Amino acid sequence: MQEKVAIIRKRLALAQDRQKKYANRRRKELHFEVGDKVFLRVAPMKGMMRFDKKGKLTPRYIGSFEILEKIGAAAYRLALPPQFSAMHDVFHVSMLQKYVHDPTHVLDYAPLQVHKDFSYEEMPVLILDREVRVLRNKTIPRVKVLWNHHTEQEATWEHEDDMRDKYPTLFL
């Protein structure tokens, strides 16, 4: 009986080692030093879906922010601007991304109304163009929508009926 238990334990340990090896293959440890610059992860408002797809064209990170202090093994205190004074300034390492100096990566957070849970809401600003897609059996009216915090190049084509239902003030 003890031999069977020993064999089972050995097999279990081998399986655990194999799974650990597979998991660690893609895992990377993030370490930052005091004074490093990092981006901070933001997320669209929970339950809000833009373009009927989650996360499309939404900024993933804002910043850059300086690390003031390392707290524990996986938390860092950031130097946040006064707009974020209502939020806690300590973040888990998974919320941070190393800042690599490139001006095209930086999203200005000033016009972005970030909530306490680091979410924000996207709203349409203007309808730029209209078109009707003609398929074999039906026609689909579409509008090109400019969204706040995005440029004209990032405007998207949306179904006109959906936009009329969600944002009737755009069509006045």
In tens, the pLDDT along 2-47 reads 888 999 999 999 999 999 888 888 777 788 899 999 988 876 554 4
Q: Which strand (E) or helix (H) includes residue 3?
A: helix 2-26
- The overall pTM is greater than 0.85: no
Same domain, 165 and 83: no
Same domain, 38 and 107: yes
Q: Position of tokens 């997320």?
A: 43
Average pLDDT over residues 99-108: 66
Handedness of CA 68, 72, 73, 75 (dihedral sign): negative
Handedness of CA 26, 32, 37, 38 (dihedral sign): positive
What is the predicted pLDDT for the residue at 105? 58
Half-sphere exposure of 139 (CA within 13 A, CB side): 3
Distance, in Å, from the CA atom of 57 to the CA atom of 104, rounded to the nearest integer, reads 15
**Is residue 119 in a domain?**
no
Average pLDDT over residues 90-98: 89
Sheet of strand 61-71: strand arrangement: 90-92, 75-79, 61-71, 37-41, 96-98
Closest CA to 40 of 85, 92, 82: 92
**Is residue 118 in a domain?**
no
Task: Please identify, among 88, 111, 134, the residue that sits at the C-terminal boundary of a domain.
Answer: 111
What is the predicted pLDDT for the residue at 42? 77
* CATH number for position 152: 2.40.50
Number of independent structural domains in the chain: 2
Distance, in Å, from the CA atom of 141 to the CA atom of 70, rounded to the nearest integer, reads 54
Same domain, 129 and 103: no
Residue 1 or 12, more confident: 12
Same domain, 22 and 97: yes
Same domain, 150 and 69: no
**Is residue 100 in a domain?**
yes
Same domain, 103 and 147: no
Structural domain including 163 reads 124-170
Closest CA to 121 of 41, 47, 24, 61: 47
